[in-house]
Amino acid sequence: MRTGLALLAAGLLLAGCQRGGGSAALVPRDPGHRWTYRVTTRTGEDTSDREPLVLRTLPAESLAALDGQPAYRRRSDSGIDYWLRVDASGIYRVASKSDLQAEPDLDRPPRFVLKAPYAVGTQWQAPTTAYLLMRSNEFPREIRHSHPKIPMNYQIDAVNESVEVPAGRFEHCLRVRGSASVRVYADPATGWRDMPLATTEWYCPGPGLVKLERSEPAASAFLTGGTRTLELESWQ
């Protein structure tokens, strides 16, 4: 479970977007910011699990493997670091690293988290994987081992939404929708099928990411799927 949280956290940016679009997008950059999320995972009608996830900002670092220029550093309590940059094209991740790795893995090309302009209809693509979809009777069970990079299409669907989470009510939020599919062997009756992966993210002025919903259904006896929700509990 913690591994799945770490992988999911590595793909997230705590980006604050002020109302007004493109040039008004901001990122909490100073070291010392801290976000605590409530993470709820459901893998069946009667099966659920809940645990916290904490992310914080660390001092910016220069990565020699890139161009020696600084990148903003984030770290999750599950042992994942990742480095972000911001320019006129948007907000994107340039590298990530787990505690088991000696050196960061570079994102080539960089992985957009939010693409400019921050307006309804803006689209981009970024890799994802199956965090919840698993085989019932094979090893390894996790689909992500055989499909580590699945292209997901993202689009900004709204820029003025209200969102209520344990940390409070937030206004003027961006809602981002992501959709993808992974082709897997479902069962002997239907054979290979395209299984949907769906994500919805809400980014709000101030804290940035306040909520994320992930859905990976599996209508097959050979597969199990589920949903995962991240909700902001506190931030500073």
**pLDDT attached to residue 185:** 84
pLDDT at residue 19 tops 70: no
24-52 tens-digit pLDDT:
344 567 789 899 999 999 986 666 788 99
- Domain assignment of residue 23, yes or no: yes
Work out the pLDDT band at 161, boundaries 50, 70, 90: very high
Cite the DSSP H helix spans in 135-199.
none
Strand partners, 128: 150
- Domain assignment of residue 94, yes or no: no
Tokens of 99: 């505690």
| Higher per-residue confidence, 20 vs 153 | 153
Number of domains into which the chain is organized: 1
In the DSSP assignment, the letter for residue 142 is B
- Domain assignment of residue 153, yes or no: yes
Work out the pLDDT band at 156, boundaries 50, 70, 90: very high
| Higher per-residue confidence, 56 vs 9 | 56
**pLDDT attached to residue 9:** 52
How far is the C-alpha of 226 from the C-alpha of 215, rounded, in Å? 6
**pLDDT attached to residue 76:** 93
CA atoms within 13 A on the CB side of 97: 14
Name the amino acid, one letter, at 105.
D
pLDDT at residue 159 tops 50: yes
Q: What percent of the chain clears pLDDT 90, i.e. is strictly above it? A: 53
- Domain assignment of residue 143, yes or no: yes
- Domain assignment of residue 107, yes or no: no
Residue in the structure block whose two tokens are 């948007």: 90
- Domain assignment of residue 24, yes or no: yes
Strand partners, 114: 91
How far is the C-alpha of 213 from the C-alpha of 211, rounded, in Å? 7
Domain that holds residue 127: 2-54+118-235
- Domain assignment of residue 80, yes or no: no
Strands (E), 16-104: 16-17, 25-26, 34-44, 47-62, 70-76, 80-87, 90-98
**pLDDT attached to residue 115:** 93
- Domain assignment of residue 105, yes or no: no
